[in-house]
Chain A
Amino acid sequence: MSMSEPQAGPSGRRTRDPVSTPPSAGPLAKREARLAWGLLLPTLISVALVIILPLLAIFWISAKPINLGDLRPTTPDVYERLKGKPKATGDASIVEFRLKNSSREKPIANVTMVDDWPDGLVPVELDERCAIAAGRLSCNFGDWKPGYREKLQIEVIAEQAFLDSGINIRDSVPVMEGDASSDLFSLEFTFENFRAVFDSSEFVEVLWVTTFYTVVGTVGALIVGMMAALILNKSFQGQGILRGLFLFPYVAPVIAVAFTWVTLLDPFSGSFNALLVQMELISAPINFFGDRPLALISVTIFEIWRYFPLSFLFILARMQSIDTDMYEAADMDGASPFQKFYYLSLPQLMGILSVLFLLRFIWTFNKFDDIFLLTGGNAGTRTLTVNVYEQAFAISNIGAGAAVAVVIFACLLAFSFFFFRFMSREEGL
């Protein structure tokens, strides 16, 4: 059992060696490493596709002047029909293709069309851009200008074979192809999106709102969670039920609890306002999610309400693993309850508290659904994440939305730097 292959990560921690490995990277170790990568491969590929690729894409998009409407691809459109139905052999009719460029702004190059051509339909004169061979009509239209339209008509004489087959020419859909440039793929880059985002007077407010929401929400959830853990950190009947109950806000779907709070706090028909008025605490109903700066405070309190269970759970788990001998010794020395909490419990909890703080800080910073459902980002509650949605979908400026997303990502990188510095010290991750 030799410990070969030093693999001191930044944390300097090694996992326990489960099997005997020969010194240096022997064949067994190599095989193990191969197996490990093999086991991880599906995960790595899927994560790369759905997480790394979009992360790179967001940088690309943020430097593009594109709108929601530009996402619809520019395509050559066609509508095919037979004018004048042939009834007997030798009847003349016209096969008509209505051709159109779907975009009014962008040209399409090298437009081609391929369609099935039924037997027994003989063209009188064929457009020079088209040819019929082996039951297929193929046309080459060259380049189309923006908004290009054309009616391509082919005069035909019907033969018996066509009448017998009963083919409807509209059954086969013509295949159109063409090269349309998309702004998304052009090699033109601009800082316009970033300038628009940073220049706007709103940006300072968005930053302030994000900071308030994140800091107060995180600290609040930690403190409230700790209080809940403190009162449940003793065994009594019904403790399990209470613990389950306290987790409700976290487990329920955000959509359900957010709409419930909106209903509860509604200024016109909400029970909470009615209750306050009846208790003579206020004289007129309060618009909790509609007035500045109350809306921001309300969404932050909602955030605390919804996420205190998580810190409660982790802190309680840590509390229950603290050795009780210590407290007994403290009791002997005559320590008071507050002293025991301050000098004994708190230092023991510091590790989990700092980890929870960092985790919750990052997650609160990233939070989108809650505010979006409660206020839609109105009344001074627009955080960075809500701003991404606002720019991209409400103003339909995808590029600007991506620019805000890049700002979020940059903040996140900074956080994770801190995160790993603290994590590796406190919990040895």
Chain B
Amino acid sequence: MKHGLFVAPVLGALWSLTIIVCLTILLAFSTGLPVRPIWLVSLLQGVAIGGIALYVGHRLLGVGLALIVILATSLMQPFAIPLDQSPVAQGLGLLVLAAGLYLPLRVMLGHLPAAALNRHQFEDAIVRFLTGFGYVFFTAVVIVPFYVMVMTSLKGQQALLLNPLDFSIEWDKGWDLFRSYSELFTDYNFASYLFTSILISIMTVLVTLLFSVPGAYAVARLRFRGQAMMSRSILLIYMVPMIVLALPIYVGFSMFGLRNSLFGLLLIYPVTTIPVALYMLQGYFRGLPAEVEEAGLMDGLSRLGVILKITLPLSLPALASVSLYVFMIAWNEFLLAFMLLDDPSKFTLTRGVSMLNSSEVPRQHLMAGAVIATLPIMVLFLGLERFMTKGLTAGSVKG
């Protein structure tokens, strides 16, 4: 088994299947052509190009040879349809296929001898293959759903029913492409939902910080009886499931007339995020050098003065990441908004989107609603990704 002439074709065949599936999805989604992989031929191509990658080091030559192999084995129909249907797209696909087969395989197999392998060489080749496969696999499983979400929102219902694989953009529609979006804002009150969600999320962040900063400081820095118990209770509360709380909250809010009010939501949202924020912040506060604070105390500042003038400015990155995380939780919250809000004029964005999930509303409106709910949080997140990942891991992972 551990022989170059065995490993190369096997990995070649596996890689070929990976690439052909991805390329088929890509071609079908972007052109709507009835493309499909010819499984047996793909296996053959992989075996052959695996062999080429083993011997041929010159890139252009390798890709050229791969092209010839692909065209010859598939009888000039690499995607199971004649090449003269959308020749540009198919030609591009063919080039990508040849390069996508030869170049990565060369990286995986290029250093292998066409002879018996030692354990190191063998495992190295497998690791390289798995790494390559991982990139393609993870990128695909993450991107495809989001791509489908965006593209569905731009298509008409009929077009999608006719060919569910065709996500090509109909440029000639012009601004009409975004019709479902404009209809959500004009007919479905989405401007109000967007505003409500922004308001609720920002208020939640502010209230959470107001409560959790002093609390986290106390748990992290001050010494008092019950400190250890307190830091454990925070975690415990973090784990209480919302659905268990939602029922009594529903009953209580029904009795006090708080159900169906944004004030009611603002009473609960911060409490669900305060434990998380407390936990993340106290982890950060512990990491800050205590000497700076001691110096402040020596200089005559009070404890609160130290918190305001020294600790808080030092923890701005942590505050940013906690704010972002809390904002994300409040923005994405669905269960409570779903249970407690009945009046469409008070819906949050997620509650508004769930309203679109009915057979009377076309799919593209639902997907446009999903895009509207996703886009702001994505933009925020991508802009502040560094803070986010730091903040998420800072709380519990030490060292």
| Known contacts A260-B148, A271-B148; is-contact A385 B243 (Cβ 8 Å) | yes
* B249 and A416 contacting across the interface, CB-CB below 8 Å: no
The 8 closest A-B CB pairs, nearest first, are: A9-B228, A366-B241, A256-B370, A33-B224, A18-B290, A54-B248, A39-B214, A57-B248
At the interface, yes or no: B334 with Cβ under 8 Å from chain A?
yes
Binding-face segment, B43-51, B118-126, B182-190: B118-126
* B222 and A32 contacting across the interface, CB-CB below 8 Å: yes
* A263 and B363 contacting across the interface, CB-CB below 8 Å: yes
Complex CA distance for A334 and B269, rounded to whole angstroms: 55
* B28 and A275 contacting across the interface, CB-CB below 8 Å: yes
- Nearest neighbor of B150 in chain A, beta-carbon distance: A260
* A47 and B271 contacting across the interface, CB-CB below 8 Å: yes
| Known contacts A51-B271, A246-B142; is-contact A352 B397 (Cβ 8 Å) | yes
* A61 and B120 contacting across the interface, CB-CB below 8 Å: no
Complex CA distance for A160 and B226, rounded to whole angstroms: 74
Kindly list chain B residues whose C-beta atoms are within 8 Å of the C-beta of A275: 24-25, 28, 165
At the interface, yes or no: A389 with Cβ under 8 Å from chain B?
yes
Complex CA distance for A36 and B285, rounded to whole angstroms: 14
* B240 and A55 contacting across the interface, CB-CB below 8 Å: yes
Report A94-109 residues with CB < 8 Å from chain B CB. Answer: none
* A260 and B149 contacting across the interface, CB-CB below 8 Å: yes
- Nearest neighbor of A305 in chain B, beta-carbon distance: B141
Q: How far is the CB of B12 from chain A (nearest CB, A)?
A: 20
Report B224-265 residues with CB < 8 Å from chain A CB. Answer: 224-225, 227-232, 235-237, 239-245, 247-252, 254-255
Determine chain A's interface SS by DSSP, over half rule: helix
* A278 and B34 contacting across the interface, CB-CB below 8 Å: yes
Complex CA distance for A36 and B369, rounded to whole angstroms: 45
* B286 and A15 contacting across the interface, CB-CB below 8 Å: yes
Kindly list chain A residues whose C-beta atoms are within 8 Å of the C-beta of B228: 7-11, 13
Query: B271's contact among A46, A246, A255, by CB below 8 Å, is which?
Result: A46
Complex CA distance for A40 and B294, rounded to whole angstroms: 21
* A253 and B350 contacting across the interface, CB-CB below 8 Å: yes
Q: Count residues of A near B (Cβ-Cβ below 8 Å).
A: 113
Report B173-230 residues with CB < 8 Å from chain A CB. Answer: 210-212, 214-215, 217-225, 227-230
* B242 and A366 contacting across the interface, CB-CB below 8 Å: yes
Interface residues of A (CB under 8 A from B): 5, 7-11, 13, 15-19, 21, 29, 32-33, 35-37, 39-40, 42-43, 46-47, 49-51, 53-55, 57-58, 61, 71-73, 184, 227-228, 230-231, 240, 242-249, 251-257, 259-261, 263-264, 269-271, 273-275, 278-280, 305, 310, 313-314, 317-318, 321, 334, 336-338, 352, 355, 362-363, 365-366, 368-369, 372-373, 385, 388-389, 392-393, 398, 401-402, 405, 408-409, 412, 415-416, 419-420, 423, 427-429
* A57 and B251 contacting across the interface, CB-CB below 8 Å: yes
* A253 and B332 contacting across the interface, CB-CB below 8 Å: yes
Query: B247's contact among A58, A270, A355, by CB below 8 Å, is which?
Result: A58
At the interface, yes or no: B270 with Cβ under 8 Å from chain A?
yes
* A263 and B334 contacting across the interface, CB-CB below 8 Å: no
Query: A336's contact among B123, B131, B212, B217, by CB below 8 Å, is which?
Result: B123
| Known contacts A32-B222, A228-B138, A248-B378; is-contact A51 B293 (Cβ 8 Å) | no
- Nearest neighbor of A182 in chain B, beta-carbon distance: B255
Report B342-399 residues with CB < 8 Å from chain A CB. Answer: 349-350, 353-354, 357, 363, 366-367, 369-371, 373-374, 377-378, 381-382, 385, 388-389, 392-393, 396-399
At the interface, yes or no: B1 with Cβ under 8 Å from chain A?
no
* B215 and A39 contacting across the interface, CB-CB below 8 Å: yes
Kindly list chain A residues whose C-beta atoms are within 8 Å of the C-beta of B165: 271, 274-275, 278
* A263 and B366 contacting across the interface, CB-CB below 8 Å: yes
At the interface, yes or no: B160 with Cβ under 8 Å from chain A?
yes
10 A-B residue pairs with CB within 8 Å: A21-B223, A39-B217, A43-B214, A50-B271, A61-B248, A71-B251, A253-B349, A255-B332, A271-B29, A313-B392
Complex CA distance for A248 and B357, rounded to whole angstroms: 22
Q: How far is the CB of A376 from chain B (nearest CB, A)?
A: 10
* B25 and A231 contacting across the interface, CB-CB below 8 Å: no
* A256 and B214 contacting across the interface, CB-CB below 8 Å: no
Query: B241's contact among A29, A228, A252, A385, by CB below 8 Å, is which?
Result: A385
Kindly list chain A residues whose C-beta atoms are within 8 Å of the C-beta of B275: 47
* B215 and A251 contacting across the interface, CB-CB below 8 Å: no
| Known contacts A5-B223, A405-B243; is-contact A260 B251 (Cβ 8 Å) | no
Interface residues of B (CB under 8 A from A): 21, 24-25, 28-29, 34-37, 119-120, 123-124, 127, 130-131, 134-135, 138-139, 141-146, 148-149, 152, 160-161, 163-165, 167, 210-212, 214-215, 217-225, 227-232, 235-237, 239-245, 247-252, 254-255, 267-268, 270-272, 274-275, 278, 286, 290, 293-294, 297, 303, 328, 331-332, 334-335, 339, 349-350, 353-354, 357, 363, 366-367, 369-371, 373-374, 377-378, 381-382, 385, 388-389, 392-393, 396-399
* B373 and A36 contacting across the interface, CB-CB below 8 Å: no
Complex CA distance for A368 and B247, rounded to whole angstroms: 13
- Nearest neighbor of B139 in chain A, beta-carbon distance: A245
Q: How far is the CB of B250 from chain A (nearest CB, A)?
A: 8
Given contacts A10-B228, A263-B366, 9 further A-B contacts (CB under 8 A): A32-B223, A37-B218, A46-B271, A255-B350, A259-B357, A259-B367, A280-B36, A337-B124, A385-B243
Kindly list chain A residues whose C-beta atoms are within 8 Å of the C-beta of B244: 54-55, 58, 388, 405, 408-409
* B145 and A336 contacting across the interface, CB-CB below 8 Å: no
* A314 and B393 contacting across the interface, CB-CB below 8 Å: yes
Q: How far is the CB of B37 from chain A (nearest CB, A)?
A: 6
| Known contacts A263-B148, A321-B399; is-contact A50 B267 (Cβ 8 Å) | yes
* B268 and A50 contacting across the interface, CB-CB below 8 Å: yes
* B396 and A429 contacting across the interface, CB-CB below 8 Å: yes
Kindly list chain B residues whose C-beta atoms are within 8 Å of the C-beta of A389: 243
Kindly list chain A residues whose C-beta atoms are within 8 Å of the C-beta of B294: 18-19
* A40 and B247 contacting across the interface, CB-CB below 8 Å: no
Query: B227's contact among A7, A35, A259, A429, by CB below 8 Å, is which?
Result: A7
Query: A35's contact among B141, B218, B339, B398, by CB below 8 Å, is which?
Result: B218
* A420 and B232 contacting across the interface, CB-CB below 8 Å: yes
Complex CA distance for A8 and B228, rounded to whole angstroms: 8
Complex CA distance for A244 and B211, rounded to whole angstroms: 30
* B149 and A245 contacting across the interface, CB-CB below 8 Å: no
* A412 and B239 contacting across the interface, CB-CB below 8 Å: yes
Kindly list chain B residues whose C-beta atoms are within 8 Å of the C-beta of A310: 392
* B218 and A36 contacting across the interface, CB-CB below 8 Å: yes
Complex CA distance for A29 and B224, rounded to whole angstroms: 8
Kindly list chain B residues whose C-beta atoms are within 8 Å of the C-beta of A263: 148-149, 152, 363, 366-367
Kindly list chain B residues whose C-beta atoms are within 8 Å of the C-beta of A249: 142, 145
* A37 and B224 contacting across the interface, CB-CB below 8 Å: yes
Complex CA distance for A7 and B124, rounded to whole angstroms: 52
- Nearest neighbor of A251 in chain B, beta-carbon distance: B381
* B164 and A269 contacting across the interface, CB-CB below 8 Å: yes
